[in-house]
Chains A and B, each alone.
Chain A
Amino acid sequence: MITMRKKRFFTIGIFIVLMISSIVILDVSLISGSEEAKLNFEKESFSPSIPTESGVFRRSEFAMDYENMPENERLARKLKDYYGNRAYPGAPPVIPHPLLSEKGIGGQSCLQCHENGGYVDQFKAYTPVTPHPEMINCRQCHVSPKTDELFRLTNWTKTEHPDVEDNAALEGSPPVIPHTLQMRENCLACHAGPAAPKEIKVTHALRINCRQCHVPVQDLTTLKIEWDSTDQFFRKPK
Chain B
Amino acid sequence: MPIKSYLVFPHVGKKEILIETLGDLNWCEILPSENKELIVLVTDTKNENEEEKCFKIINTIPALDHLTLVSGFEENANNVNK
Count of residues in A whose CB is under 8 Å from the partner chain = 23
Q: A236-B64, A237-B59 are in contact. Are A226 and B72 (CB under 8 A)?
A: yes
With beta carbons under 8 angstroms apart, the residue of A9, A24, A223, A232 that contacts B69 is: A232
B28 CB → nearest A CB, Å: 15
Q: How many A-B residue pairs have CB under 8 A?
A: 55
| Binary contact readout A113-140 vs B (1 if CB under 8 angstroms, 0 otherwise) | 0000000000000000000000000000
Interface membership of chain B positions 66-78, coded 1 if the CB is closer than 8 angstroms to chain A and 0 otherwise = 1111111110011
Distance from B47 Cβ to chain A, minimum over Cβ atoms (Å):
14
- Cβ contacts A to B, 30 pairs, < 8 Å: A6-B65, A9-B66, A9-B68, A13-B7, A13-B68, A17-B70, A20-B70, A23-B71, A35-B34, A37-B34, A223-B73, A224-B73, A224-B78, A224-B80, A225-B71, A225-B73, A226-B72, A226-B73, A226-B82, A231-B69, A232-B68, A232-B69, A234-B6, A234-B66, A234-B69, A235-B66, A236-B59, A236-B64, A236-B65, A237-B59
Residues of chain B at the chain A interface (Cβ within 8 Å): 6-7, 9, 34, 55, 59, 64-74, 77-82
